[in-house]
Amino acid sequence: MSTLASSLDPQAFTFISNLVRRKSAIVLESEKAYLIESRLTPVVRELGLLNISELVTELQKPGSQNLNQRVVEAMTTNETSFFRDIHPFTALKDKILPGLIQRRAKEKSITIWSNACSSGQEPYTIAMVLAEHFPMLKNWKIRLISSDLSNRILDKARLGVFNQTEINRGLPMNYLLKYFTKEGGQWTIREDIRKMIEFRELNLVEPFPNLLTKMDIVFLRNVLIYFSPETKTEILKKVHAVMHKDSYLFLGGSETTMNLNVRFEREQIGTAVCYRPVA
Ligand SMILES: C[S@@+](CC[C@H](N)C(=O)[O-])C[C@H]1O[C@@H](n2cnc3c(N)ncnc32)[C@H](O)[C@@H]1O
C-alpha cells in the first residue's frame, strides 16, 4: 500500500486554487494551502493516488469533468445551522412576512430564495417559520427556492435527514418535536415541510437561470466572504435584478454591501440588519 505524501507543492497549489477560482469564484490565498491538503486528502486516498500532485495530473486528463467538479465541491465550506444568527428569522416572523402578506394580498404569492443553502438548515428553518406562524399562507402560492453550487451537499439537503449534532445546533425543542421524526440516530424533517422547498443547483458566478418570478426575500448568507470584491459586486448586481422593489436581502453577520458599487440600502428591522434594493 502506498503512503500518502503530505506536503503540497507550489504548482499543485496554483493549479487547484486556479481551478476553484475559475469554477466557483472562491479565492484561496496561499495561507489556505493547509485547507487544500485537508479537504483533498480524502479524495486522493479514495482514488488510490499518492498525493495531491498526482490528483492534479488526473484533473488534467480528458474526461475528468466530474473529478474537477468533485474537487471544487470538496473545497467549499458547508458550515451552517438551524436558525443561524436568529435575528433574520425574528424579523421575518415579526415584520417582514406580516408586511408582505398585506402588500401581496391580491396576488397571494410570495417567493423566497435561500442561496448557497448548504445542507438545507436555512431553507428548512424558513419553511418551519412559515408553517408555525403563518398557517393562513396555506392557500397562497409560496415558492421557497433553495440553491447551492454543490450537488453533493444539495443531495443531503433534499433528504432532510440530520444527525444529533446538527439538530443540537440551533433547533428549538418545540420545533424538533413538531417537525421531525426520529429513526435510529437520525432525525427526518416532516414531509410537508420538505416538500415546500424547490432545491436546485445554481452557481452564483454563472448567469442566473430564469427563475420565472421575482424575489420577495433573498437569503445570501455566509458565501460572499469567499469572493473577491469584484465577484461580490457582480453577484449582488445580478441578485438586485431579480428582486422586487419592496423586497429584502439578508447577508451573513460579517458581510455587507458597503464599499461595493451596488444599489442596496441597509435597513435595521428590530435586531436584524437587511438590505433593500434601490432603483
Ligand atoms: C458557509 S455555507 C453557507 C450556508 C448558509 N447560507 C448559512 O449561512 O448557514 C456556504 C455555501 O456556499 C456554497 N457556495 C460556494 N461557492 C458558491 C457559488 N459560486 N455559487 C453557489 N454556491 C456557492 C457552498 O457550497 C456552501 O454550501
As a whole number, mean pLDDT of residues 57-84 equals 96
Segments forming the whole domain that contains residue 60: 10-74
Is residue 209 included in any domain, yes or no? yes
- Give the length of the chain: 279
C-beta neighbour count of 214 within 10 angstroms: 13
Ligand 1 pocket member 228 (CB < 6 A): no
- Per-residue pLDDT band at 211 (split at 50, 70, 90): confident
Residue 181: is it exposed, middle or buried by C-beta count within 10 angstroms (0-12/13-18/19+)?
exposed
Ligand 1 centroid, distance to 78 Cα (angstroms): 6
As a whole number, mean pLDDT of residues 204-230 equals 94
Q: Strand, helix or coil at 278?
A: coil
As a whole number, mean pLDDT of residues 87-107 equals 98
Ligand 1 pocket member 116 (CB < 6 A): yes
Is residue 228 included in any domain, yes or no? yes
pLDDT at 213: 85
Ligand 1 pocket member 24 (CB < 6 A): yes
How many structural domains comprise the chain? Answer: 2
Same domain, 58 and 91: no
- In this prediction the pTM is 0.94
Pairing relationship of beta strands 109-115 and 215-220 according to DSSP bridges:
parallel
Which is more confident, 210 or 124?
124
pLDDT at 4: 43
pLDDT at 32: 85
Domain at 240, CATH number = 3.40.50.150
Is residue 242 included in any domain, yes or no? yes
Same domain, 37 and 118: no
Is residue 5 included in any domain, yes or no? no
Instruction: Give the helix, strand, coil percentages of the chain, each rounded to 5.
Output: 45, 20, 35
Q: Is pLDDT above 90 for 6?
A: no
Q: Which of 49, 74, 99 is the last residue of a domain?
A: 74
pLDDT at 31: 85
Same domain, 56 and 107: no
Is residue 197 included in any domain, yes or no? yes
Is residue 79 included in any domain, yes or no? no
As a whole number, mean pLDDT of residues 201-219 equals 92
Same domain, 62 and 192: no
Same domain, 134 and 209: yes
Same domain, 37 and 152: no
As a whole number, mean pLDDT of residues 65-82 equals 96
Same domain, 66 and 95: no
User: Mean pLDDT of all residues in the chain?
Assistant: 95
Domain at 58, CATH number = 1.10.155.10
Same domain, 70 and 100: no
Is residue 53 included in any domain, yes or no? yes
pLDDT at 8: 83
Residue 24: is it exposed, middle or buried by C-beta count within 10 angstroms (0-12/13-18/19+)?
buried
Closest by Cα among 262, 271, 217 to 85: 271
Same domain, 53 and 91: no
Same domain, 139 and 225: yes
Ligand 1 pocket member 239 (CB < 6 A): no
For residues 84-104, b (16+ Cβ closer than 10 Å) or e, as one string?
A: bbebbbbbbbeebbeebeeeb
Same domain, 99 and 196: yes
Q: Which of 74, 99, 124 is the last residue of a domain?
A: 74
* Tally of CA atoms within 13 A in the half-sphere of 151 that contains its CB: 5
Q: Ligand 1 pocket: which of 223, 231, 234, 239 to mutate (most atoms <8 Å of CB)?
A: 223
Is residue 22 included in any domain, yes or no? yes
Q: Which of 52, 74, 96 is the last residue of a domain?
A: 74
Same domain, 122 and 229: yes
Closest by Cα among 120, 126, 189 to 155: 120
Cα 274 from Cα 257, distance rounded (Å)? 10
Cα 71 from Cα 39, distance rounded (Å)? 9
Phi-psi region for residue 52, left (φ > 0), alpha (ψ -120 to 50) or beta? alpha
pLDDT at 223: 98
Cα 42 from Cα 124, distance rounded (Å)? 29
pLDDT digits (tens, 9 = 90+) for 220-259: 999 999 999 999 999 999 999 999 999 999 999 999 999 9
pLDDT at 227: 96
- Per-residue pLDDT band at 5 (split at 50, 70, 90): very low
Q: Ligand 1 pocket: which of 21, 35, 76, 87 to mutate (most atoms <8 Å of CB)?
A: 76
Ligand 1 pocket member 232 (CB < 6 A): no
Ligand 1 centroid, distance to 91 Cα (angstroms): 22
As a whole number, mean pLDDT of residues 191-195 equals 98
What percentage of the chain carries pLDDT values higher than 70? 98
pLDDT at 2: 42
Q: Whose CA is nearest to atom 19 of ligand 1?
A: 24
Q: Ligand 1 pocket: which of 35, 73, 113, 118 to mutate (most atoms <8 Å of CB)?
A: 118
As a whole number, mean pLDDT of residues 63-68 equals 95
C-beta neighbour count of 81 within 10 angstroms: 17
Q: Which atom of ligand 1 is nearest to the CA of 219?
A: 6
pLDDT digits (tens, 9 = 90+) for 148-176: 999 999 999 999 999 999 999 999 999 99
